[in-house]
């Protein structure tokens, strides 16, 4: 009987881990139906994501709770998290497009730049870790705990954009 319980607990734990992994994969992968072309949009722009840094500010919610009913404040809080998640999706799309462009440049570059493949892999892993951390903080924020700071995530993408621009300038020269 104890073995059966242990097997059930292991199966439940494994399925929970698989479910969280599947959820994270769906959250962090770029939207396939997006029609926004990276080249046509002029590339990545830091200003586009500036509202994310203040979208979940605690002061706004405190003011609304003080001057309006709790139901309106709760609805507004859910709405701003939904908008924040859309920004996160767009940010992931921009990152994946920048990363794909950088991979294409590395593939076309001479052998002496082959070490850039490792740099690209590290950047991708750093981005995925930062994105997962923001998602966890966002879930905690929804539960009323903590704050969400996306400056590190935006910084990862901006660093890759700057490196890509530098590489383009070097290859053009």
CA-CA-CA-CA torsion sign (157, 21, 87, 42): positive
Residues 90 and 6 in one domain: no
Q: What is the DSSP letter of 145?
A: -
Q: What is the DSSP letter of 112?
A: G
Residues 13 and 55 in one domain: no
Residues 105 and 127 in one domain: yes
What DSSP assignment string belongs to 8-67?
Answer: HHHHHHHHHHHHHHHHHHHHHSPPTT----TTTTTS--GGGGTTHHHHT-HHHHHHHHHH
**Which tokens in the block code for residue 127?**
């981005």
What is the per-residue pLDDT for 35? 33
Residues 2 and 38 in one domain: no
- What total number of domains does the chain contain? 2
Q: Tell me the pTM.
A: 0.64
Residues 5 and 72 in one domain: no
Nearest to 90 by CA among 146, 41, 142: 41
Residues 16 and 79 in one domain: no
Residue 15: pLDDT above 60?
Answer: yes
Residues 13 and 75 in one domain: no
Residues 43 and 78 in one domain: yes
pLDDT in tens, 139-173: 888 888 878 888 888 888 777 778 777 776 766 66
pLDDT band (50, 70, 90) for residue 32:
very low
Residues 86 and 15 in one domain: no
φ/ψ bin of 30: left (φ > 0), alpha (ψ from -120 to 50), beta (otherwise): beta
Report whether 137 contacts 153 (CB < 8 A).
no
pLDDT in tens, 54-107: 777 777 777 777 777 777 878 888 888 899 999 999 988 988 888 888 888 888
Average pLDDT over residues 122-134: 89
Residues 90 and 146 in one domain: yes
- Measured from the Cβ of residue 98, the count of other Cβ atoms closer than 10 Å reads 21
Nearest to 123 by CA among 139, 90, 101: 101
d(C-alpha 77, C-alpha 81), whole Å: 6
Residues 90 and 119 in one domain: yes
* Residue 26, domain extent: 1-30
d(C-alpha 94, C-alpha 90), whole Å: 6
């Amino acid at each position: 009987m104890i073995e059966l319980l242990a097997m059930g607990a292991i199966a439940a734990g494994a399925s929970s881990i698989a479910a969280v992994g599947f959820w994270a994969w769906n959250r962090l992968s770029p939207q396939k139906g997006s029609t926004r072309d990276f080249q046509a949009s002029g590339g990545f722009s830091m200003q586009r994501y500036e509202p994310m840094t203040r979208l979940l500010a605690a002061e706004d919610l405190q003011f609304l709770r003080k001057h309006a009913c709790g139901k309106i404040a709760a609805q507004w809080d859910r709405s701003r998290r939904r908008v924040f998640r859309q920004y996160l999706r767009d940010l992931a799309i921009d990152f994946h497009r920048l990363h794909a462009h950088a991979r294409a440049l590395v593939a076309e570059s001479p052998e002496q730049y082959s070490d850039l493949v490792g740099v690209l892999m590290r950047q991708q892993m750093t981005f995925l870790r930062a994105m997962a951390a923001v998602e966890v903080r966002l879930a905690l924020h929804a539960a009323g705990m903590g704050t969400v700071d996306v400056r590190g995530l935006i910084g990862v993408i901006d660093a890759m954009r700057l490196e890509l621009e530098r590489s383009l300038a070097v290859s053009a020269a």
